[in-house]
């Protein structure tokens, strides 16, 4: 493994010494070379440790943000070319300095004050950064407003340091795509084994958190796009109930299924971030249903005894596809039982046609949502509707170089959302996923939550044949719009895999309680080693 420069600002030596002491990192080598990737001073730091350092005056927000920026420039852009970051925020240091002034004056905005965070690049920011969806068609696109998510994070004192790469158009452009590839930024790599896939579509968000390029990230999910990259990159991901987090200012796929959510290295950090994202937003009607059902502090539900007395459903359909995953999952089930939970197994949640109905709903809503988003960019926008996007891709030298845009074309052919065909399909899908799906199975067995393997080990990235997922369990929660939390469950050789906890609408508190108890009792998270193969 070659030595990697993490930063080249040697005037920060006093800070480096302090951080080495605080976080018990390895000392410099005998030749006094700069720290390598394995002993990055902030490796695996948590929000609690960061805030403790701020309060004691051990370091400043500006110093912390600079360290992360330097690491991104060295590790993501140069030495390893992880390609998890599309663009750095030119304003990050200025924002950090202002937040330092506030702290010095005794003002803290809360637990996210001064916390570096990366946003998936389908989330609007009204600043010097573009919002691209990874597409060359939007490479110079600047939204007129912050997304609701960006607004809430800024209010909470988080420092948006960068935008993350993603599977282009959130992996809903065409067939045989490779997760983590975009026309703007190329292929994102898995930090555990570099020729493996990070999954997606929140690929860069997952890699940036896992590789310690940031403390937190925000991903988005329609079906699997938070939990799958969290699985492949060995981190925690929360896919909230649709309506808990506003989608205003997020490039859409499905009004029914889309949501943003936090990606972190610990359940605690993800819970802290989740509390900062909530809020009723008049421009996203889904959030109206969240009234009196959400909390601004989800850490109150974290309990090491959270599994005791719970009744857990074991969704077995993803099993039998990878014997190593099955073995690790059975170990997880045994742990859960030993912690005082009762488990009951079942093989089916959704009828077979629900996935097909969901795909059709996505196509209808994709056309409507994209056209509304393009309109929000104003009359000078480079792309004004879905038809123009399809035409742009057809002429571009990169966009269709190894996979097509069939899903865009299929969406373009759909009628509007006032059509009877769309409304009938939507109603049948929701009934099948909710009252005849998750709600039915949980009522029948009186369950607190359902568990299943999140996915298998990361596959080799393949631009000829596309993704090879193998197994997954995201669909029941995704199609119903219900919450899902994934936590590291162990390793298949050098590759991490996760366990998912999902359940009823607005059940984030109990899912967090259970997921935290599992995490604290197993501690499977390990930082990546950046292996060549």
Pair 253, 362: CB distance under 8 Å: yes
Cis previous bond, 363, omega within 30: no
Taking the C-alpha atoms of residue 280 and residue 286, their distance in angstroms, rounded to an integer, is 9
Which residues on neighbouring strands pair with residue 193, listed in sequence order?
A: 531
Q: Please, what's the largest Cα pairwise distance for the chain? A: 72
Alpha carbon 419 to its chain centroid, in Å, reads 33
> What is the Cα Rg of the chain in Å?
22
Taking the C-alpha atoms of residue 533 and residue 526, their distance in angstroms, rounded to an integer, is 18
Query: Reading across the β-sheet that carries 85-88, which strands appear in turn?
Result: 85-88, 159-164, 116-120, 216-221, 259-264, 236-239, 484-492, 495-502, 449-453, 311-315, 342-346
Cβ of 106: how many Cβ atoms within 10 Å? Answer: 6
Pair 80, 40: CB distance under 8 Å: no
- The three-state secondary structure class of 360 is helix
Catalytic residue numbers?
Answer: 120, 201, 225
Taking the C-alpha atoms of residue 219 and residue 361, their distance in angstroms, rounded to an integer, is 21
Taking the C-alpha atoms of residue 162 and residue 91, their distance in angstroms, rounded to an integer, is 10
Taking the C-alpha atoms of residue 451 and residue 342, their distance in angstroms, rounded to an integer, is 12
DSSP category for residue 12: G
Cβ of 418: how many Cβ atoms within 10 Å? Answer: 8
Taking the C-alpha atoms of residue 466 and residue 17, their distance in angstroms, rounded to an integer, is 45
Both structure tokens of 207: 């890699």
Taking the C-alpha atoms of residue 398 and residue 37, their distance in angstroms, rounded to an integer, is 32
Q: Which residues of 348-360 are buried (b: 16+ CB within 10 A; e: fewer)?
A: ebbeeebbebbbb
């Amino acid at each position: 493994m070659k030595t990697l420069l993490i930063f080249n600002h040697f005037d920060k030596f006093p800070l480096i010494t302090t951080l080495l002491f605080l976080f018990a990192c390895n000392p410099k080598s005998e030749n006094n070379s700069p720290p390598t990737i394995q002993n990055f001073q902030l490796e695996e730091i948590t929000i609690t440790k960061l805030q403790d350092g701020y309060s004691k005056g051990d370091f400043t927000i500006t110093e912390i943000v600079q360290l992360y920026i330097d690491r991104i420039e060295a590790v993501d852009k140069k030495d390893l070319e992880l390609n998890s970051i599309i663009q750095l925020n030119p304003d990050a240091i200025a924002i950090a300095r202002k937040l330092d002034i506030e702290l010095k004056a005794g003002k803290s905005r809360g637990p996210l004050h001064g916390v570096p965070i990366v946003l998936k690049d389908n989330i609007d920011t009204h600043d010097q950064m573009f919002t691209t969806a990874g597409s060359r068609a939007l490479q110079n696109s600047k939204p007129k407003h912050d997304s609701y998510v960006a607004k809430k994070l800024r209010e909470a004192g988080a420092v948006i340091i960068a935008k993350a790469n993603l599977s282009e158009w959130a992996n809903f452009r065409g067939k045989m795509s490779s997760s983590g590839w975009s026309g703007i930024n190329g292929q994102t790599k898995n930090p555990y084994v570099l020729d493996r896939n990070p999954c997606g579509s929140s690929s860069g968000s997952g890699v940036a958190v896992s590789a310690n390029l940031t403390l937190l990230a925000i991903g988005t999910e329609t079906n699997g796009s938070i939990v799958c990259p969290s699985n492949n990159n060995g981190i925690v991901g929360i896919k909230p109930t649709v309506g808990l987090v506003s989608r205003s200012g997020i490039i859409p796929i499905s009004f029914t299924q889309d949501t943003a959510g936090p990606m972190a290295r610990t359940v605690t950090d993800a819970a802290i971030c989740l509390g900062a994202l909530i809020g009723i937003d008049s421009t996203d009607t889904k959030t109206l249903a969240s009234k009196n059902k959400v909390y601004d502090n989800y850490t109150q539900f974290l309990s090491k005894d959270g599994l005791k007395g719970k009744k857990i459903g074991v969704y077995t359909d993803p099993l039998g596809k990878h014997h190593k995953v099955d073995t690790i999952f059975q170990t997880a089930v045994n742990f859960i039982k030993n912690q005082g939970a009762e488990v009951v197994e079942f093989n089916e949640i959704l009828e077979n046609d629900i996935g097909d109905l969901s795909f059709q709903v996505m196509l209808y809503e994709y056309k409507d949502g994209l056209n509304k988003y393009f309109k929000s960019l104003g009359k000078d926008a480079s792309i004004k509707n879905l038809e123009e996007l399809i035409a742009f891709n057809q002429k571009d030298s990169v966009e269709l170089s190894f996979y097509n845009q069939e899903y865009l074309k299929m969406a373009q052919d759909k009628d509007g959302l006032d059509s009877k065909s769309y409304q009938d399909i939507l109603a049948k899908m929701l009934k099948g996923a909710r009252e005849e799906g998750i709600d039915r199975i949980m009522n029948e067995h009186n369950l607190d939550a359902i568990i299943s393997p999140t996915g298998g080990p990361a596959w080799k990235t393949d631009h000829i044949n596309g993704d090879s997922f193998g197994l997954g369990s995201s669909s029941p929660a995704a199609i119903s719009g219900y919450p899902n939390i994934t936590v590291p469950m162990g390793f298949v050789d050098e590759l991490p895999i996760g366990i998912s906890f999902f359940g009823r609408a607005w059940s984030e508190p109990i899912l967090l309680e259970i997921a935290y108890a599992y995490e604290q009792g197993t501690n499977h998270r390990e930082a990546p080693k950046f292996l060549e193969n």
